[in-house]
Structures are given as C-alpha cells and as structure tokens.
Amino acid sequence: MYDPKKPTGLGLVLGQGLVTSQGELWQRQRRLMQPVFQRSNLASLLPQIVTAGNNLLARWRLLGDGAEVNLADEMMQVTLEVITQTMFSTSVLDKIEHIAPALDTLLRYAAKSVMNPLRMPLFIPTKTNREFNAASAVLDDLIYGIIGQRRAQPAAHNDLLDMLLNASDNNGEFMSDKQVRDEVMTIFTAGHETTANLLTWTLYLLARHPDVLAKLHQELDNLQGNIPTAEDLQQLVYTKAVLNESMRFRPPVGIMMRRISKNTELDGYLLKQGRLVIFSIYNIHHHPDFWQQPEQFDPERFLNAESRRFSFMPFGTGERICIGSHFALLESQLLLSMIIQHFDWQLLNTGRSRN
C-alpha cells in the first residue's frame, strides 16, 4: 500500500494530491475539487487559454515561412503555458522557464525511485539528491510564495489557484497550504504532458490524413477567422470527433493500474485480491470486438451518439476517472482550432513513419 510517510514514485513529488491519495482524503479532495473542473466553471478560463494560444502563434509567425519545428516540444511548451496561466494568471509568467526543467528533474527522479527501493534518503547530499532538492525548492518557493500572497491580500484573480483556495468541504473547511501545494503540483503534472501528447498526435495524424484536415477546415471556416467562444466550441462537432478519434487511435495515457478488491476469475486466470493489475487502454481502443477497422484513423465513427463507456476510455473510468477531462478537451479544441485556422504544416521524414 502507498505509505505517505515514506513516499516513492509520484508521491515524492505530488505529496498527497488527487492522483496519489487514497481513501477518505482522496474522497474529500475529489468532492471538493469536482466543481472546479465542471465544464460550466471552466468557461471563465478561456481567455487565459487564448492568451497562451496567441503566444504560440506569434512565436511561429516570427519563425517565418518554411520553418522546421519539433511539434512535441512546441505542444509541451504551449500546454505548460496554459496550465501556468490558468493556475496563477499572469503572476509567474516570468518564471515559466524555471518551472519546466524543475518539474522534469522531479519526475525523472520519481520514476527512478520506483525502480530503486534502496535509493539514498533525500537528506544525504548525493548529486541526484541535491538536484532533486533544488528543483523541489524552486517549485515550492514559487507555489507557497503565491499562496502566501493570496492569503495575505485576497483579491479576485479568476484562476484555478483562487478556485482551489476558495473550495470548501461539507464542513465548510478549506484546504491547508500543504494540500493546495500538493493539488497544484498534481494538476501541473497530470494536466500538461497528457494534453501535449493529444495535440501532438492529432497534428501528426492530420498531416497524414489530408481528407480529414480538409473537413476540419470546412467546419472551422464557419468561425470566419475568429477565436471560438465557449458556445462555438459546443458546435464544433467534427473537431471534437477528430480529437476523440485521435485519443482512441493513440491514447495519451496508454495503460492504467487498479488494485484487485476481491478474487476474480477472468478468462481462466485468477486475479488475486490485493494485487495490482495493469491494463492497456491502447489495446481496448484497438480491439476488433469493439471497433470496426480499428487500425484506420476515422473520426466519422464518433459522429453518432453510440455509448462507448467500456470501449473508449482515454480518461480512465470509474470513480478515479480523470477530473480534468473537460479542461483537456476545452484546451485542445481551442488550441487546435487556432493552429488550423492560421498555419499549414507537413511532416519531415515521413518515410520512417507508420499510419
């Protein structure tokens, strides 16, 4: 069982945020944070997402015609800016260049710690421990610093941090500074690379499927060059279908883990209570029992209202389903529509790629 006093893996970085907490703490936090991530609440964050999108377009315009870019890096940069803008408004944009490398150092260390249970405790100043502690300090100083400022001088900022600070549980209690810090780190980590993966794969797949791209252009032409509003996004059904098919075909999170709650026989195998199982979202999304021509990228399949509860689960399923799914879709629809309306792109080295 995960022991918060001796954290390994993600727990080292995220503390006891939504991803790493269990039981009553998780339940309290999930109830408290659910309203923040409701679709209707998120519309107020659209301007911050648009700002990050406009910064991306401006950066690309400066590169000029024919520029070569690494799309995965670009999407990581824009989604990091989105999560920073929506979390803290503009107050830390000057520090954004320190956030990405610090987060990277922490997550690499966390991943290694899972493989190496005999690692040196963090207070022993080995090179990697010193790097971890320095990166932790960068992010903690930043997050606790802003929390402190907001507590001292409350003013409306219309961002996720305000929403987290103002969220209370059934007893009217708010989160401690440490809990807010853990949830901020959790949202940063869970919400940035996943969405970058979705956008990168989508742009890749569109370059490989010009017919789909042409249809997408047709839908987006209705916007007449404008940035879509929250209501417009609801109407962009083909754009949504493209994103869904992209997540089916190349799920940004490929596997999930569950602990077996009671002995279960599955296809002749005994899954023992208490054991961990890993299952593949990718395989479910490509299973011929659930999908016709699963190896074909075809957004049309998402244009009907068929229920796909157990065959399509890019955001997981059950009570631990991704809390940020509406956020991710809002962000991806918006950024995709901005990119497509203003830029054409093609792949380099297509000879080496599949699909």
CB of 337 to ligand HEM, least distance (A): 16
Indicate the residue among 282 and 345 with the shorter CB distance to ligand HEM.
Answer: 282
Q: Which residues are CB-neighbours of 252 under 8 A, at least 6 positions away?
A: 194, 195, 197, 198, 201, 314
d(CA 198, CA 204) in angstroms, rounded, equals 10
CB of 14 to ligand HEM, least distance (A): 9
CB of 320 to ligand HEM, least distance (A): 4
Residue whose token pair is 């244009």? 303
Indicate the residue among 130 and 178 with the shorter CB distance to ligand HEM.
Answer: 178
Indicate the residue among 29 and 136 with the shorter CB distance to ligand HEM.
Answer: 29
* CA quadruple 39, 331, 111, 313: dihedral sign: positive
Indicate the residue among 122 and 256 with the shorter CB distance to ligand HEM.
Answer: 256
Indicate the residue among 158 and 226 with the shorter CB distance to ligand HEM.
Answer: 158
> In the beta sheet, which residues pair with residue 278?
257
Indicate the residue among 79 and 105 with the shorter CB distance to ligand HEM.
Answer: 79
CB of 281 to ligand HEM, least distance (A): 7
Burial class (CB within 10 angstroms; exposed 0-12, middle 13-18, buried 19+) of 208: middle
Measure the N-to-C terminal CA separation of the chain; round to a whole number of Å.
41
Torsion of CA 173, 177, 183, 189, to 10 degrees: 170
CB of 327 to ligand HEM, least distance (A): 4
Which of these, 131, 127, 115, lies nearest to 8 by C-alpha position? Answer: 115
d(CA 37, CA 256) in angstroms, rounded, equals 22
d(CA 346, CA 5) in angstroms, rounded, equals 50
Residues that bind ligand HEM (CB under 6 A): 18-19, 30, 186-187, 190-191, 194-195, 198, 252-253, 256, 314-318, 320-324, 327-328
CB of 284 to ligand HEM, least distance (A): 12
